[in-house]
Amino acid sequence: MSAHTEAGTGGPALTTASSDSDPPGRLARVATGAAEVVACAGAAMGSVTLSHSVDVDPLDRVGQVSGLAALDLRFVLMGLAVLAACVATARFPRVFAVVGKLACAIVAGLATGLVAGGIVLALHGTTWALFANWGDSGQLIRWADDILAGRPVPPDYPPVALHLIARWAELTGDSTAGALRTSQVVGTALFGPVAYLSWRLVLAPVWALAVALVAAMPLLEPYKPYTTVVLVALVPLLIAFLRVLRRAGSLTWARLAIAGATTGVALGLLFSLYSGWFLWSAPGALVAVLVRFPWRAPLRGLALLGLTVAGLVVVAWSHLFGLIAAAGTVQDRYFYFDTAVEPAYIAMWRNDLPGDVGPWPPPGELAGVGVFTVLLVIGLGVAVAVAGRRTAVLTVGTLLAGAWILRLAIASQMYETQTVQLYPRTTAEILFCLLLLVVLAARYGGGRLQDAWRARAVAGNGRVPRNAMPVIGALCAALLLALSMGSATADRYLPRNDGSVGLLAYVAQNVRQPDGRCPQYSGPSGCAPDPGTLLRGEWPPRAP
C-alpha cells in the first residue's frame, strides 16, 4: 500500500491523476490547496462580517430567536449558492474536482462562522468579551495588561494567546478587554477552517469536512476557542508524522530533515497555544511511535524523532521549561459538578458550566448507557475491524487508550490527594477520539463497499458523472448538519441568567464597561459596577 493510498488524500470524486514528479500537476495541487485555505477562512470571516448587520435586543428572547433566524437565513443562502456551483459543474469532472474541494472548505468555514455570528449577536451592545472581566476572561485581560506593561507572566501558562491579545490591543489601540472579545469571535470563526485544513493533511475533502462537523464541532468553546482547537489540529499532525516515520527508511536525509523540522515547529506552536492535550496524548503517542518506528532503519527513525523534538523545543522552550519548573508544585483543587460524575461517562463535553440540564449524566437506556454511547462503541469496533492497521486508526486508538488510563489513574487518587489535576478535561479528548473513529469507520468501511459496488457498476451515458452526486449529497447533509449544530451552539451562548454558558454573555451585557458606560441593552435599572455584584445577586439593588 502506498503512502498516498493510506493517506486518503484523494479519491475519484475530488482529485485528478497527477504524478509527484509532474511539476504542473504539483503546482496545480498547491494552487488548489491555497484556494481551499482562502475559501475556508473567507467563508468564516464573511459570515462574521454579515452578522454585524443583525440589530436586535440580545437580552430579549424574541430578539434572540429573531437574530438567530437572521443568521441562519444568511447561512442557508450561502449554502445554496455553494450547492448551485456544484450542480452547475457536475458534468465537467476536472472543474468539479476543484469546485468540490472548495465547496467542502466553504461549508467548514460557514459552520463555525455561524457560531461566531451568534457570539457577535450575544455581545451586541456591549464592548466586553464573554464573562466581561471575570473568571478566565479577567485573568487573560490582566496577563495581557502585564505584557503591555513589561511585567512577567507565569511561564507555565501557554503564551501565544496572551501575546496575541496584547499585541492586537497595541496594534489597534483597543483595550485588552476589546482585544479578548475580538479573539473570541475570530477564534470561534476560524475553528472550523483550522479543523478542516488540519485534517486535509490526512483525509480527502469530504471526510475532512465530516471530521470538522461530527468530531470537532462538539468541542467548540467560544469562551476560549484556542484550547480545544489545539486538540483538533494535534491529532492529524501526529497521524501525518507517523506516516512519515513509518517510511523513514526509504526517505532521503534531506526529506527527513524537512519533515522533522516542519513537524517540530508545528508541534511547538500548538504546544505554546495550549499544552494540556500534549499531557493527555503523551502515553498513546509514545505507543504509536514505537509501533510505527522503522526498526530496520533505526538511525533514520531516530534522526527524524530527534529533529522533531528539537524543533518543538526551539519554538516552545520558555513554556516547556516553565512547565517543568512548576511540575509538582501546581495543584488543581477545583472540584465542580463533573468531578462528582461517575468517571466512565464521556458522552458529552460541557466544560464546567452545565446549567439546568436535569440529571447529569443523563439516564441511559442500556444498563445506564445511552444510545449515543452505543453508537460510539460500534464505531470503535468497526474502525478497528476494517482498518485497525492503518496509521490513522492506530494513532486515534492509542491516544484514546492513553487518555482513559490517565483519566482513571488521576481520578482514583482524588480522595487521597484531594486534587483534581484537570482530569475531567480528558472527556474532550476521549469523546473526540471516539467520534473520529466513527468517521474513520465510515471512511474505510464505506470505501470497501464502494469499491465492491464500482467493480460491478456500469457507467451510464449522458448522465451526471457517478462520482459527482455522492459529493453533492454529502454536501447537502453537511449543510443541514452544520446549520443545526451551529444554530444550537450559538443559542447556548446567548445571554441568559440560568447558570448555563449563557451566563457568560449575560454578565457582559450587565456590567459597566471599561469606559464607564453601561451596555446598550442593560435595562432600565442600569448595570452592575462589577461581575461579582451581579453574580452574588446584589444587582439590581432591592428597594428599601
Q: What is the reported pLDDT for 23? A: 67
Residue type for 492, please?
R
Which of residues 208 and 19 earns the better pLDDT score?
208
Q: Are 70 and 61 in contact (CB under 8 A)?
A: no
Q: What is the reported pLDDT for 543? A: 59
CB contact set of 471 (below 8 Å; sequence gap of 6+):
13, 14, 86, 96, 100, 103, 206
- Numbers of helices and strands, H then E, in the chain: 19, 0
Residue 2 reports pLDDT greater than 70:
no
Read off the pLDDT of residues 262-297 as tens digits, 9 standing for 90 and up. 999 999 999 999 999 999 999 999 999 999 999 999
Q: Are 172 and 185 in contact (CB under 8 A)?
A: no
Owner of C-alpha cell 484550547: 227
Q: What is the mean pLDDT of the chain?
A: 90
Cell of 538: 446584589
For residue 340, the tally of other CB atoms under 10 A from its CB is 8
pLDDT confidence bin for 14, thresholds 50/70/90: very low
Read off the pLDDT of residues 394-448 as tens digits, 9 standing for 90 and up. 999 999 999 999 999 999 999 999 999 999 999 999 999 999 999 999 999 987 7
Residue 542 reports pLDDT greater than 60:
yes
- The lowest-confidence range among 14-23, 135-144, 380-389, 442-451 is 14-23
Residue 160 reports pLDDT greater than 60:
yes
Read off the pLDDT of residues 471-515 as tens digits, 9 standing for 90 and up. 898 999 999 999 999 999 999 999 998 878 899 999 999 999 999
- Residues 187 and 184: their CA atoms lie apart, in Å, by 5
Residue type for 184, please?
Q
| Cα separations in angstroms, 367 against 282, 364, 431, 438, 474 | 32, 7, 20, 22, 34
Q: What is the reported pLDDT for 3? A: 39
Q: Rounded mean pLDDT of 26-36?
A: 91
Residue 253 reports pLDDT greater than 90:
yes
* Phi, psi (degrees; rounded to nearest 5) at 23: -55, -45
Q: What is the reported pLDDT for 470? A: 84
Cell of 216: 470537532
Instruction: Report helix, strand and coil shares of the chain as percent, to nearest 5.
Output: 70, 0, 30
CA torsion sign for 442, 443, 444, 446 is positive
Q: Are 288 and 395 in contact (CB under 8 A)?
A: yes
- Residues 265 and 310: their CA atoms lie apart, in Å, by 9
Residue type for 344, please?
A
| Cα separations in angstroms, 348 against 224, 344, 354, 369 | 18, 11, 10, 12
Categorise residue 355: left if φ over 0, alpha if ψ from -120 to 50, beta otherwise. Answer: left
Read off the pLDDT of residues 352-386 as tens digits, 9 standing for 90 and up. 765 666 677 777 767 778 888 889 999 999 999 99
- Residues 331 and 315: their CA atoms lie apart, in Å, by 27
- Residues 508 and 43: their CA atoms lie apart, in Å, by 27
Share of the chain above pLDDT 90, in %: 76
Read off the pLDDT of residues 40-95 as tens digits, 9 standing for 90 and up. 999 999 999 999 999 999 999 999 999 999 999 999 999 999 999 999 999 999 99
Select from 344, 341, 357 the least CA-distant residue to 434. 344
DSSP lists the bridge partners of residue 511 as 528
Q: What is the reported pLDDT for 462? A: 45
Q: What is the reported pLDDT for 5? A: 44
Residue 169 reports pLDDT greater than 90:
yes
Q: What is the reported pLDDT for 22? A: 64
Residue 157 reports pLDDT greater than 70:
yes
